[in-house]
Structure 1
Amino acid sequence: MKPDELRGHLEALVLAVLEDEALHGYAIMEELSRLSDGSIELPTGTLYPALRRLERVGYLKSSWSIVGGRKRRTYQLTRAGKKALEDERSAWQKFTSTIGAVLGSTQTDRA
């Protein structure tokens, strides 16, 4: 899946990956890939600006930590980020239900 195909959904995906644990950027990319069975492979130039945007609006907070002997910036959800994720999930369910109703119908259904 190309980064352009994720436009409008990347930030929600990042929030979802960070829901249960704080991760550094590369680990976020790995987790997105794992959860999508390799369909989502993000270049760093796509992920890091999204992380900065999410931190700027208060959905994430970051701190420096040592991971595997290396200093890395680790990101975690804030209370506002958890609320934003909840809102994104609700909007996604409504969107997929609506699109599914149209795309799942056949000419016979519409007649």
Structure 2
Amino acid sequence: MKTDAVRGHLDGLLLSVLESGPLHGYAIITAVQERSNGALELRKGTIYPALNRLERLGLLDSDWESTGERRRRRYALTDAGRRALATERTTWREFTAAIGSVLDPAPAPGTAT
């Protein structure tokens, strides 16, 4: 699926994969790819600016984790991030219901299918 397909939904995707606990950037990319069964592939150049923006907005916290000689930035949801994720989910459900009702309308009562 093209990267453009996630435009407008990236924040929700990032917040969602961080709901279960802190992750570093590559693990976030991997989690999105696994959850989407390979349909969504995010690039580093896409997620890091978004993660930094979400942190500036107070939706994420980050810290540095050392693994051997490597240091990686780990991101975690804040309470505000959890509230934002709940809002994203509600908005997504409303959006998909509206689009679904146009693309796949229910038959009018009393009509044959």
Structure 1 gaps of 5+ residues are: none
TM-score (ref. length: structure 2): 0.90
After TM superposition, what 4+ stretches of structure 1 lie above 3 angstroms from structure 2?
Answer: none
Task: Tell me the distance in 1 between the aligned counterparts of 2:13 and 2:21.
Answer: 14
Identity, % of aligned pairs? 51
- Relative to its length, the structure with more helix (as a share) is 1
Q: How does 1:75-90 map to 2 (within 5 A)?
A: 75-90=75-90
The CA deviation at 1:105 is 1.7
Q: Deviations over 1:37-92 (max 9, x none)?
A: 11111111001011011001000000001246521000000000000000000011
Q: Does 1:23 align with 2:29?
A: no
Q: How many residues are aligned here? A: 109
Structure 2 gaps of 5+ residues are: none
Task: Tell me the distance in 2 between the aligned counterparts of 1:69 and 1:27.
Answer: 18
TM-score (ref. length: structure 1): 0.91
Alignment match, 2:7 = 7
Structure ID, larger Rg: 2
Alignment match, 1:73 = 73
Bigger shift: residues 62-71 or 74-83: 62-71
